[in-house]
């Protein structure tokens, strides 16, 4: 771990120097520690119980010039394959912005619709089987147009396929995804919708239609994500889907109370969806709360939640299982290591 952290700092030094010359840098570290108890069929599952260091991230954002910005996030506690630990880099990209248009190149988030998918992993406690299985960071390039009123953003993205690293694709580097995303914000309604084509094998594509919807009414917020997946036109609608619903109540700036329900199923008789395998039908429900002890700050967060899963999961390496109960309590904190603003 010491070597990894030293290497990370050495990699960041050139960016520090360049950003300071141009007058803007923000370097943060964030971590989350949990105490968990998992039960399957009423018996304690020891592999996922006890104290867990879930996340240790370092993030840096900065401005290189009037038009160029950059963003970088590294997971320091994630296993990596080589000395550059690029596999543990969530994103590292450069963005050029000119008026309404921007172009981003580098490792970035794969553009898929839905509010569950849009949440940073460190901020998510109860999730669907789909969320737990989809690799969401890949190298690519994207272009975004933002309307004058800032209410809508439209993004087109060309990147590596999320399924490029699947065990059947270890030696297939030339696998890509083509994504179109709409981010909308109109009064009480917001959206993250996408249409996607992703190679699950070389030359063979899976199609996504992912519709993320959010209603905000004062202290109350309701999310509903609907995702349809298909590997052929024969079973295009209704055979392979995921649903996520989240209701949140914010009684004050220091408290959040939430209810979550997810449902994943794959009734298609075709191989290709590596995130939800055929024959899977599993549901998860849960509830929890968050408390922010610092006034006017969310840098420290305490959480407590409980969830229950049931159904059938044909993926032996999956995350949700029949008659599975998870109780989770923990703390998240974020710290500024370096912050320099343009004079």
Residues facing residue 306 across a β-bridge: 287, 327
Residue 219 φ/ψ region, left for φ over 0, alpha for ψ in the -120 to 50 degree band, beta for the rest: alpha
Q: Residue 29 in contact with residue 12, Cβ under 8 Å? A: no
In a domain, 21, yes or no: no
Other CB atoms within 10 Å distance of the CB of residue 312: 11
Task: For 249-299, write each residue's pLDDT tens digit.
Answer: 999 999 999 999 999 999 998 888 999 999 999 999 999 999 999 999 999
Q: Distance of CA 157 to CAs 103, 106, 107, 191, 217, Å?
A: 10, 11, 12, 18, 32
In a domain, 327, yes or no: yes
In a domain, 15, yes or no: no
Reported pTM:
0.89
Instruction: Please give the helix or strand (H or E) that residue 182 lies within, else none.
Output: strand 176-186
Identify the domain containing residue 270 by its residue range.
95-340
Please report the sign of the dihedral spanned by the C-alpha atoms of residue 315, residue 318, residue 320, residue 324: positive
More confident residue, 131 or 172: 131
Tally of structural domains, the chain? 1
Task: For 32-64, write each residue's pLDDT tens digit.
Answer: 999 999 999 999 999 999 999 999 999 999 998
Task: For 88-144, write each residue's pLDDT tens digit.
Answer: 899 999 999 999 999 999 999 999 999 999 999 999 999 999 999 999 999 999 999
In a domain, 89, yes or no: no
Quick one: which of 306, 257, 302, 272 has its CA closest to 286? Answer: 306
Q: What is the CATH number of the domain that holds 214?
A: 2.40.160.10
Quick one: which of 245, 217, 240 has its CA closest to 230? Answer: 240
In a domain, 100, yes or no: yes
In a domain, 69, yes or no: no
In a domain, 29, yes or no: no
pLDDT of residue 1: 44
In a domain, 182, yes or no: yes
């Amino acid at each position: 771990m010491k070597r990894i952290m030293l290497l990370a700092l050495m990699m960041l030094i050139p960016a520090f120097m360049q950003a300071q010359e141009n007058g803007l840098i923000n370097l943060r570290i964030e971590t989350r520690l949990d105490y968990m108890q998992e039960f399957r069929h009423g018996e304690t599952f020891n592999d996922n119980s006890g104290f867990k260091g879930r996340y240790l991230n370092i993030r840096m954002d900065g401005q290189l010039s009037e038009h160029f910005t950059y963003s970088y996030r590294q997971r320091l506690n994630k296993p990596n394959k080589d000395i550059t630990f690029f596999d543990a880099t969530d994103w590292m990209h450069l963005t050029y912005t000119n008026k309404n248009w921007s172009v981003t190149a580098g490792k970035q988030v794969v553009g898929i619709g839905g509010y569950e998918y849009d949440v940073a992993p460190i901020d998510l406690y109860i999730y669907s089987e789909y969320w737990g299985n989809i690799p969401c960071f890949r190298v690519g390039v994207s272009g975004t147009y933002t309307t004058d009123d800032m209410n809508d953003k439209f993004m087109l993205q060309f990147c590596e396929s999320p399924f490029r690293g699947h065990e059947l694709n270890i030696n297939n580097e030339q696998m890509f995804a083509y994504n179109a995303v709409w981010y909308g914000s109109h009064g009480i309604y917001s959206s993250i919708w996408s249409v996607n084509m992703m190679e699950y094998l070389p030359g063979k594509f899976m199609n996504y239609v992912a519709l993320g919807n959010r209603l905000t009414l004062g202290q109350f917020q309701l999310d509903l994500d609907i995702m349809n997946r298909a590997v052929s036109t024969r079973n295009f609608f209704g055979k392979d889907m995921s649903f996520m619903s989240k209701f949140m109540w914010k009684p004050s700036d220091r408290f959040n109370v939430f209810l979550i329900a997810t449902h994943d199923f794959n009734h298609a008789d075709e191989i290709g969806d590596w995130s939800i395998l055929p024959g899977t039908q599993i549901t998860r429900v849960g509830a929890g709360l968050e408390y922010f002890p610092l006034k006017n700050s969310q840098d420290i967060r305490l959480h407590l939640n409980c969830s229950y899963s049931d159904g059938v999961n044909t993926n032996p390496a999956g995350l949700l299982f029949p008659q599975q109960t998870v109780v989770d309590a923990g703390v998240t904190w974020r710290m500024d290591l370096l912050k320099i603003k343009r004079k």
